[in-house]
Structure 1
Amino acid sequence: MPISIDEFDTHDPTHRETNAQRVVRFLVENRDKAYKAVEIAEATNVDRNSIHPVLNRLEERGLVRHREPYWAIGDLEAVRDAMVFSSAAALLDETVGSESRAEWLRASESEDTERP
């Protein structure tokens, strides 16, 4: 699938877009249409076996809408908010390191043992 020259100029080959990000980007770019899941999978190079779980998670978050058998972008403000959050989280991961669930659990366990 071709990309715009602006996207080409800012393309970072070390950044790997998630399936959800690819689906949302595709649906935003084509917000005047609704697609069948298989069409979205083909357009975004998301595996056909993965597309329904991705779309269902996005629907739960209000980022896509579904009317059998079609899918379309959801509330654009919710999409924007999700993208801002994702960008902020990526920036924080890049500058201070990503969070570790194991570290959070160890810290919470040590707090529990330190309490009187």
Structure 2
Amino acid sequence: MPVRFDEYVEQADSLEWTPKPESNARTILSFLFEHPETGFTPSEIATATGIPEGSVGPTLGRLREFDLVRHEEPYWAIGDDDRIAAYEATLQSLATLDDQYGDEGWGTVDRREYEVDEDAVAEWRERRREAETDEE
């Protein structure tokens, strides 16, 4: 299905830092989040997560572009960005609620009410870009 490319790119840019559940990015971030003070090689991450080693490197590179991970050759660690902790805490809270209540507790709730405010995220990204430009 054809799409308006400019709108697609804008939407993709605004959502890219929030990895989809079950994705390699989400799996790697979750693993690194569990070990915030530890650096791992790509091989160690592959072994611990079950992700093919050939996929770990490119995924880490994409995560680094968004400052979600830190890298000091040859080690990778979770980034210092507050978004990571907030995102992971939200996912863990939702998983706990789902485990405890299942659909009983969420059956009548319109989950769209809890979606991310894309305009706020876009504004945050713009402020961050401006701040980085000012620093240079």
Kindly tell me the number of residue pairs found equivalent between the two proteins: 74
1:48 maps to 53
RMSD, aligned α-carbons: 2.5
Secondary structure of 2:76 counterpart: strand
CA contact (8 A) 1:62 1:78 kept: no
1:22 maps to 27
- Cα distance in 2 for partners of 1:54, 1:16 equals 14
| Structure 2 alignment gaps of length 5 or more | 1-19, 95-110, 113-136
Deviation at 1:61, TM superposition (A): 0.6
TM-score (norm. length: structure 2): 0.48
Alignment of 1:1-116 (within 5 A): 17-80=22-85, 92=112
- Give 1:78's aligned amino acid: R
- Cα distance in 2 for partners of 1:65, 1:45 equals 21
| Percent of pairs with identical residues | 40
2:101 maps to none
- Cα distance in 2 for partners of 1:59, 1:39 equals 18
- Cα distance in 1 for partners of 2:64, 2:45 equals 14
TM-score (norm. length: structure 1): 0.55
Detail structure 1 runs of 4+ shifted over 2 Å in the superposition. Answer: 80-84
CA contact (8 A) 1:41 1:47 kept: yes
Secondary structure of 2:70 counterpart: strand
- Cα distance in 2 for partners of 1:30, 1:80 equals 12
Deviation at 1:80, TM superposition (A): 3.4
